[in-house]
Amino acid sequence: MKVAIIDDEDSGRNIIQQYLSLYCDDVEVLGEANSVKSGVELLSKVSPDVLFLDIQMQDGTGFNLLEALPQRTFKVIFVTSFDQFALKAIKFSAADYMLKPVDPDAFVEAVEKVQADLAKESQSQSQVEDTRIDQLLTNMNSFTRVGIPTESGVQFVDVDDIVRCEAADGGTQVFMNNGKMYVSQKNIKVYEDMFVDNKFLRINKLHLVNTNYIDKYEKGGGGGTVIMADGISIEVSPHKKDELQGMI
């Protein structure tokens, strides 16, 4: 079985390599990549049977990568911080997934399943895999929960309960409607891309807001100001003013 690994975290790629070495026979790693861009470049050069793919990366998502590929004839095992409730789209597409932190038993189970599938499939199955991924991409709006990777682990929250995100020291502060705040190790661009279809808007360089939690929009002073449900006032960049007014 030929595999490729795409994850923006060194530890994520290392653990997959380690588990492949410990638990899997007859596996060849064709290459690794640490971003959407480098992943597309890698897959233009190699043809894996299986792709281990992170969902949340610094320059986009694993779904952005799949959309950028002209052909997707490999099986995908997602390695993700999304919880089971947020994986409806992945389940609909019949893809496999593992939750971070990756459990060895779950890893072995996913790999054995994909190996069994490969052993009994014909060449025409490559068209089926492409169809499955197409189906996955059409079901993207099914996500309702997300895992926030923090220093202590992964905190799962409902996307609808997120009031706003604020960039901070290379990471992101995620503010919830219950008053809690979580510090994510991912940058704010990751969340901007992830929530593009969930009524969120990046209204300036530092702030991504859930427009459902805007209590008031005040005109004037460039792009104006929004007052959020948690009482915070945030200035709107002038070039975001029209887009914001179209969403509220």
Beta pairing, strands 200-202 & 225-228: unpaired
Q: Whole-prediction pTM value?
A: 0.59
Write down all domains in the chain, each with its CATH number in brackets.
2-142 (3.40.50.2300), 147-245 (2.40.50.1020)
The confidence score (pLDDT) of residue 143 equals 59
> Measured in Å, how far apart are the chain's first and last C-alpha atoms?
50
Q: How far apart are CA 179 and CA 206, in angstroms?
A: 19
101: tokens are: 């932190």
Do residues 236 and 216 touch, judged by C-beta distance below 8 A? no
The confidence score (pLDDT) of residue 131 equals 63
The confidence score (pLDDT) of residue 126 equals 55
Q: How far apart are CA 196 and CA 221, in angstroms?
A: 26
Q: Spell out, as residue ranges, where the chain has pLDDT lower than 70.
A: 82-95, 120-143, 197
Q: What's the Cα-to-Cα distance from 87 to each of 83, 116, 162, 181, rounded to whole Å?
A: 7, 23, 18, 24
The confidence score (pLDDT) of residue 129 equals 63
162: tokens are: 């997120």
Q: How far apart are CA 185 and CA 127, in angstroms?
A: 37
The confidence score (pLDDT) of residue 81 equals 75
In this structure, is the dihedral angle defined by the CA atoms of residues 129, 132, 134 and 136, taken in order, positive or negative?
negative
